[in-house]
Structure 1
């Protein structure tokens, strides 16, 4: 069956990591002082030096990981490579959980319960068969997935190596994690398992994803995704003319939903969006299809609006199928709605210690903290009220989610690893 991409986007704002949340970026002096002391400590400075000196190793790790393709639900091989890197860099224990998350535990000294987690996601958006060979053009690396989020995985390995070389001990236990299922239909399954089923007592979470330094997500952009499947008898385009046609019914569903949803999103409400991303079905140009389908993405800042746009979608489909079957066609079509994605919304206050520390650390690197909202791994802890932030991977890059994705490591690239380490240590506590 041939898949067709339909570029219909009706939106008042959409993004994965770049929609800015509300919230003051004012930093409490006590957190500025705390992070500044940490930044100036001898062991942290030594770790920063190791991060700079192992840049070539980090680039080699990035290339190795990039060239192991990892679509959602097929992250196993990359997970094995990442696990080997964690083991060689040095963790106290290492395991792959039930859904495929690769977890390295670095024990703290306090014996206190509750983990601090730091992660990057293993999966990329590209399907099996995609050529992920890394091409070097000067200092620029080109390959699908090299930035999003393979660079984040390489950063975790660099952080771990630097902590061990500098003999840094944290007060709290650290979980260093390569998560599965962040992209697309993966639907944050790795994080859902960690926070809902794993039994791990997680106090706070730091995700590495997205772009430049200074970008800090403290809020989750919720989304609901559905596949609408419409079925009919099917037949010859001439001999069975007049028979109910699933494609025609699908067209009516798109038309009614687009009108009703556009009227809703154009109102005085927080940003809400809807998108028909893919359609498909049929066997030939001269056949009435027996099946037609589309995939729909809806997003909203406010959980209430997300529920309401979902209700509009369901009502629109019901209305469209009822009207089509009553239009005089012979026979009728029926339909099925299959939920293929559900990411919760939520927002954490900027006053939380983790967010304060993240902003203070960001400022020490000469960047202006920018609080934002995204559809990332932190959606899950944020919706549960667990402190979490998503930070950028630094460097220069472009073409994310495309075959011409590229990444260039520059001074900001090393600083992004140092920043991630500083935030992690400020949250976990540096053992003196």
Structure 2
């Protein structure tokens, strides 16, 4: 039996713990008075006034071809907008379109990245169908809404003579959907920005972490042979089936602190009446924990090699990409404490932008966007919502037309908050 005084102390501790958890504070640079400043009020009013034109542009962009690696049409359009706004855009070797809005000096460099590619082949019909406040089209949410938001933010800045101490770099990135390649290339070949803001996340939520993303192709090979001579001969089909079955039986904790594994492609064989000479499957492995990510990657390779040996077929392992993990929630405590994160949370609240589902977190230590390579490089980086959307990477994708309006205001207010520097506005905010 537990002594009475010990039991009472334990109860008191249990009752106090939830309250203590609620008292976690994070620094913020958000000052609600900013929305009452005449120039900012004018800018927010202009965003609202011009939103019908922004919506039209969003639809036009959605209907343009933009498959990863083939974004030239969208890139040329963005470049023309940058030029009309008086900037001098450049296109780098991977296709990123970059324009710098110069600051007066002495402030943080802010990079704003919105990817212009989509997963769909260019021949996919992307005609936008509108029903009430809903837009239906492949790619309408991911990430075309955010491209229009970025362009509207630039136009608003120029129309209201917005000034910043640091440079603001607008970047329309390419090949995000095939491994964040445009963002990775730009960050690798340019000076490090002080802040990285990526409009390409969940509406009402702020992602400050980075899922590591490993893509690997496992190719099984054999001499092949006619069906009539196939009995008892090694076949890559059985090896592939056994390997996939064993990989899906692996046990590991689920996201957000664990991992996820998906077999995204299975392909091979040319004719009905022969043992195929080559079959393959692909693995998409993701985790924010770098140790777990590497451990699972080694396990997947080991299991697949063992299956190939067991079934007496050849195996070729082709690594497509290895985007590193940003770290677990505990490992990212320093990143969470940067004012950029809480400022975005506070502006979401000020604009009435909710993360949606009950219990959804306002700030999450994960992410699979162009912010990832920034997180890995220890650059203060976040991904924010571009619109309320659903069905990403599906032909049935849709977005709520009106939702990009507050998302655009969020992007503008975030940039305006840090235009003159990174500061903390007392009192510190309390995160429930």
Residue 265 (structure 2) pairs with residue 278 (structure 1): yes
Q: Secondary structure at the match of 2:280?
A: strand
Structure 1 contact 91–106 (Cα < 8 Å) conserved? no
Residue 395 (structure 2) pairs with residue 386 (structure 1): no
- What is the CA–CA distance in structure 2 between the aligned matches of 1:419 and 1:295, rounded to whole Å? 38
Structure 1 contact 209–390 (Cα < 8 Å) conserved? yes
Structure 1 contact 67–132 (Cα < 8 Å) conserved? yes
Residue 44 (structure 2) pairs with residue 44 (structure 1): no
Instruction: Write the deviation string for residues 207-254 of structure 1: whole angstroms up to 9, x where unpaired.
Output: 0113322x0001111121101111111121113433321112212222
Find 1:101's aligned residue among 96, 99, 123: 96
Residue 197 (structure 2) pairs with residue 201 (structure 1): no
119-128 or 137-146: bigger deviation: 137-146
Instruction: Write the deviation string for residues 324-371 of structure 1: whole angstroms up to 9, x where unpaired.
Output: 11xxxxxxx211111123222213532102113222322322346701
- What is the CA–CA distance in structure 2 between the aligned matches of 1:69 and 1:163, rounded to whole Å? 28
Partner of 1:335: 315
- What is the CA–CA distance in structure 2 between the aligned matches of 1:188 and 1:91, rounded to whole Å? 28
Find 2:370's aligned residue among 377, 380, 383: 377
Change (3 A) 1:76 1:267: closer
Q: Secondary structure at the match of 1:176?
A: strand
311-320 or 341-350: bigger deviation: 341-350
Find 1:133's aligned residue among 119, 122, 127: 127
Structure 2 contact 344–414 (Cα < 8 Å) conserved? yes
- What is the CA–CA distance in structure 1 between the aligned matches of 2:190 and 2:262, rounded to whole Å? 36
The Cα shift of 1:100 comes to 0.8
- What is the CA–CA distance in structure 1 between the aligned matches of 2:267 and 2:314, rounded to whole Å? 16
Instruction: Write the deviation string for residues 43-62 of structure 1: whole angstroms up to 9, x where unpaired.
Output: 11111111001111101111
Structure 1 contact 282–289 (Cα < 8 Å) conserved? yes
The Cα shift of 1:406 comes to 1.7
Instruction: Write the deviation string for residues 22-68 of structure 1: whole angstroms up to 9, x where unpaired.
Output: 9987344x634xx3243222111111111001111101111111111
Residue 406 (structure 2) pairs with residue 415 (structure 1): yes
- What is the CA–CA distance in structure 2 between the aligned matches of 1:91 and 1:120, rounded to whole Å? 20
Structure 1 contact 357–427 (Cα < 8 Å) conserved? no
- What is the CA–CA distance in structure 2 between the aligned matches of 1:314 and 1:190, rounded to whole Å? 28
Structure 2 contact 221–277 (Cα < 8 Å) conserved? yes
Find 1:353's aligned residue among 339, 348, 356: 339
Structure 2, unpaired ranges of 5+: 1-20, 327-331, 355-360, 422-432
When the two chains are superposed, the root-mean-square deviation of aligned CA atoms in Å is 2.3
The Cα shift of 1:383 comes to 1.0
- What is the CA–CA distance in structure 1 between the aligned matches of 2:270 and 2:417, rounded to whole Å? 58
Structure 1 contact 256–320 (Cα < 8 Å) conserved? no
Structure 1, unpaired ranges of 5+: 1-21, 326-332
367-376 or 420-429: bigger deviation: 367-376
TM-score, normalising length: structure 1: 0.84
Residue 228 (structure 2) pairs with residue 221 (structure 1): no
The Cα shift of 1:408 comes to 2.5
Structure 1 contact 25–371 (Cα < 8 Å) conserved? no
Equivalent residue runs for 1:178-257 within 5 Å = 178-183=172-177, 186-196=178-188, 198-213=189-204, 215-257=205-247
Residue 395 (structure 2) pairs with residue 397 (structure 1): no
Find 1:69's aligned residue among 65, 69, 75: 65
- What is the CA–CA distance in structure 1 between the aligned matches of 2:24 and 2:272, rounded to whole Å? 57
Residue 50 (structure 2) pairs with residue 54 (structure 1): yes
Structure 1 contact 65–82 (Cα < 8 Å) conserved? no
Length, aligned pairs only = 388
Instruction: Write the deviation string for residues 372-418 of structure 1: whole angstroms up to 9, x where unpaired.
Output: 12211111110111101100013x432221112122222x4312111
TM-score, normalising length: structure 2: 0.84
Find 1:312's aligned residue among 277, 299, 303: 299
Q: Secondary structure at the match of 2:342?
A: helix
Equivalent residue runs for 1:28-39 within 5 Å = 28=27, 31-32=29-30, 35-39=31-35
Change (3 A) 1:138 1:387: same
304-313 or 38-47: bigger deviation: 38-47
